[in-house]
Structure formats: C-alpha cells, structure tokens
A = this chain, B = another copy of it.
Amino acid sequence: MTSTITTAAGTTDNVGGLDLGPAVALSCRECGNRVDLGPYYACSECFGPLEVSYEFTLAREELRRAIERGPQNIWRYAPLLPVPAGIADTPNINPGCTKLVRADNLARELGLKRLWVKDDSGNPTHSFKDRVVAVALAAARELGFSVLACPSTGNLANAVAAAAARAGIRSVVLIPSNLEQQKILTTAAYGGTLVAVEGNYDDINRLAGEIAAEQDDWAFVNVNVRPYYAEGSKTLAYEVAEQLGWRLPQQVVVPIASGAQLVKIDKGFTELGNLGLVEPTPYRVFGAQATGCAPVAHAFKDGHDTVRPVRPDTIAKSLAIGNPADGPYVLDTVRRTGGAIEDVSDDEVIEGIKLLARTEGIFAETAGGVTVATLRKLLATGQLDPEAETVIFNTGDGLKTLDAIADVVGPTATIAPTLKAFDAAGLA
C-alpha cells in the first residue's frame, strides 16, 4: 500500500472468513457503491466515506431477548454491531451501559418537562471514546491487524492505550509534543508507545495517515478502520432506547466534533424502529457546538449543504475539529428530523459545566458544558420544545478539563480551625 487513502480496489485478500457479525459490506455514503468488508475507508469509485451495511437476521423477539440476556456493556448489542458473535468473551475494555440520569433539577431550572442526561463519563476511561475504540479493536483483530493506533489530543489517546493494554496488544498513540502534562500522563500510564510529535493536530493526523499506509498491520482506529470505529456510537442510541423501556425520546441534543456521533445516534434510532424493537416515533436531533469552532452551526444557520472549515479557538478542545468529516451528514440529519444546531461561547460553556454539576451532581468536561449551554439556548430561542421529552449527551469527564473552571470556582470561605471562626463566617 503506497497511498494514504486505501480503497477497496487495493486489496481483497482479507475478506475471506471474516466474522463481523451482521455486517455484510461497506457502502459508500456518497455514491452507494458496495464493497466487501475489509480495512477500507474510502470508496474506490468516488473516494467518498465508506460505512458498514448490515443484514439483520434475528426476529424482533429473539433479538430483544438476546440483548436483555447480554452483559452490562455494549456487547449486549453485538447482534447490531460489526463484531464477532463471541466478542463479549474476548479481552476488551467493555464500555457502555452508562447511566441515563433523570435530570429533574436541571429540567426544573430550565423549564423543561422531562429531561435525561446520558452520562458517558462512567465509561472505563471516562469518555464515549471507549465505545468507538472497543468496536474498532474488535474489528481490527478480525481484520488481522496487530497494533492499535491513533492520533489524538486527549480522550481518544486514553481510550486506545487502555483498550490495547487490556487486549494484550501493542498501542501506538501520536500526540502533539506541547500537550498539557496532565493529558500526557493519563495516556502514558498504560505503558504503550506514546509518540510526542513536534507539530499540531493537523500535522500528527497527516503523519498517522502516512504511517498507516506504510505499516500494514497497524489499525489507526480513526483512519483505516474508521467505518467500524464510527459504528460504536450507535450504542448510545440503543442504550437510551432500552433504558427508556424500549422507546425513543422526542428530542436529543448531541455535541458535534467530527459529527459522526450525532449521525450514528440517528442511525441507531432508525435501526431500532426498522427492527421493531421500538415504535418508530418521530424524534428531533439537535446539534451543539462551541462558537469558537462552529462550522456546522454556521452552515445550518446559513442554509448551506456543505461546511466551510474554520480554525478552532475554544476551550472545548475535544470538539475542536475545524473541518468535520461528517458535517454534511449532520446537516442532513438535523434538517430531516426538524432539529437545529446552535453554538455557545466559552463563558456559556463554563456556565453549562457549573449548572450541570450544581443541579445533577455530574461534573462534565467542556464538551458537556457545550451541550448543556446549547440546550439552554435552544430553549431560550424557542427552537426546542420544553414539553417534549429530551435526552442530552454528556460525552466526557470534568476531571480531564479542570483548567476550564480553575478561575471560576473555589472555596466559599477560608477560616481558622475553630468553631468560633466557623460561626463567625456565617456559613450555618
């Protein structure tokens, strides 16, 4: 392989004997061209992105029983994912089944009738990235890769290093060399190969593509096995529906980085409806961005079908993708379902973090602050229906972005260690 884009025309030797469960092919999201399953991510006809296609064979009741009998992690949905049937018994990080928190305090404060927070900070490395990495790892093994790799500046790096450690395989994680010490430590702890690259994220992303083309047995989770990786986000939709008692919410608010998560949540809901696991009731999908990196929100508001790249400048670093690959598909999804996309300032993000922590005891990373603040803005501008049942997604953990709140929270008072000092401070 000599190109940084591997197309299905390149090789076909990995196809025979693959067990990727109900996955039967990869399909181009642009031209619809179908190719065999394999380590491909770009269409050989039009270079459009490839996506996993399925043939689901289990009947509704059988499927529901299989899920409900399954383990308390994403592998309960193995019959709906591109993974081998026996995946639950293979060493992996086993994310998922995170809490769906009924957020009555926050709902009351915002004037919403019923609100839930899907809190993915409960995953093994405390972000939703564990879901996509777990599926990528499962597929990568089946496709014959022996190293798990990624370029990342944070959550993905943690997830890849941890999952590879559990699986007993090598990880190679590329990070910018000027990353905060804290983020370096949380990945280095797992003992894989951690490469600090003297460049920005664009530089390491490009380098990852070049290495992927050179190292035939390295699976860069978000590059050459991206079609499988992205499917992991469907499990957010499955879990929400099952946790609601096998039904769909009326509105969801999802943060947008590449946009894949939002698109896959919609895909998950649609699949459940088609399979008869839920009534296919209508739902509206809303997107959330930080104003400092809001290319999809701008396109939505301007009525465009394509997304003009921006240079990110926001504290919400895990959402700071200036040229989001799934941007056009996000626009499709949001418009088709009657949703909207809003963006919020960094100050609003911090207020969002504080609001969620104060009302629900959930300490979110900046991406969660974006989502909460966007929920508030969508309500204030009348775009979101306060009477309709709503689910918002918290995709990460405040412990990883402490700097964001360092200047705005602190002790209520500082006192001498005496009851007299305590009483005098008026804290009772």
Binding site for B on A (CB under 8 A): 72-73, 91, 93-94, 97, 99, 101, 104-105, 119, 122, 124-126, 161-166, 168, 172, 175, 177, 181-182, 184-186, 188-191, 193-199, 203-204, 206-207, 210-211, 214-215, 353-354, 357-363, 397-400, 402, 405-406, 409-419, 422-423, 425, 427-428
| Sample of 16 more A-B contacts, CB < 8 Å, known A186-B402, A191-B354 | A73-B99, A91-B104, A119-B124, A165-B357, A165-B359, A165-B361, A166-B361, A184-B411, A185-B405, A185-B410, A188-B411, A195-B425, A196-B414, A196-B415, A197-B415, A198-B417
- CB-based contact B363/A190 at 8 Å: yes
- CB-based contact A97/B122 at 8 Å: no
Residue among B104, B124, B195, B422 making CB contact with A422, cutoff 8 Å: B195
- CB-based contact A409/B72 at 8 Å: no
Residue among B72, B175, B400 making CB contact with A399, cutoff 8 Å: B400
Q: A411-B184, A417-B198, A417-B204 are in contact. Are A122 and B125 (CB under 8 A)?
A: no
Please report the C-alpha to C-alpha distance between residue A191 and residue B409 in the assembled complex, in whole angstroms.
8
A-B contact list, 13 entries, CB within 8 Å? A72-B97, A125-B363, A177-B411, A184-B411, A185-B406, A191-B354, A191-B358, A193-B412, A196-B411, A197-B414, A199-B417, A211-B419, A214-B428
- CB-based contact B196/A398 at 8 Å: no
Quickly give the copy total for this chain: 2
The closest CB in chain B to the CB of A73 belongs to B99
Which B residues are CB-close (under 8 A) to A175?
Answer: 411
- CB-based contact A186/B419 at 8 Å: no
- CB-based contact A412/B195 at 8 Å: yes
Which B residues are CB-close (under 8 A) to A412?
Answer: 193-195
Which B residues are CB-close (under 8 A) to A418?
Answer: 207
Which B residues are CB-close (under 8 A) to A411?
Answer: 175, 177, 184, 188, 194-196
Please report the C-alpha to C-alpha distance between residue A172 and residue B414 in the assembled complex, in whole angstroms.
13
Please report the C-alpha to C-alpha distance between residue A397 and residue B123 in the assembled complex, in whole angstroms.
12
Please report the C-alpha to C-alpha distance between residue A363 and residue B105 in the assembled complex, in whole angstroms.
32
Which B residues are CB-close (under 8 A) to A204?
Answer: 417
- CB-based contact B419/A185 at 8 Å: no
- CB-based contact A354/B189 at 8 Å: yes
- CB-based contact A186/B104 at 8 Å: no
Which B residues are CB-close (under 8 A) to A177?
Answer: 411, 414
- CB-based contact A409/B189 at 8 Å: yes
Min CB distance, A181 to chain B, in Å?
A: 7
- CB-based contact A357/B419 at 8 Å: no
- CB-based contact A417/B189 at 8 Å: no
Min CB distance, A187 to chain B, in Å?
A: 9
Q: A99-B94, A195-B411, A414-B198 are in contact. Are A361 and B163 (CB under 8 A)?
A: yes
Min CB distance, A294 to chain B, in Å?
A: 25
- CB-based contact A185/B361 at 8 Å: no
Please report the C-alpha to C-alpha distance between residue A189 and residue B410 in the assembled complex, in whole angstroms.
8
Which B residues are CB-close (under 8 A) to A166?
Answer: 101, 105, 360-361
Which B residues are CB-close (under 8 A) to A163?
Answer: 361
- CB-based contact A126/B191 at 8 Å: no
- CB-based contact B419/A162 at 8 Å: no
- CB-based contact B207/A419 at 8 Å: yes
Please report the C-alpha to C-alpha distance between residue A405 and residue B191 in the assembled complex, in whole angstroms.
12
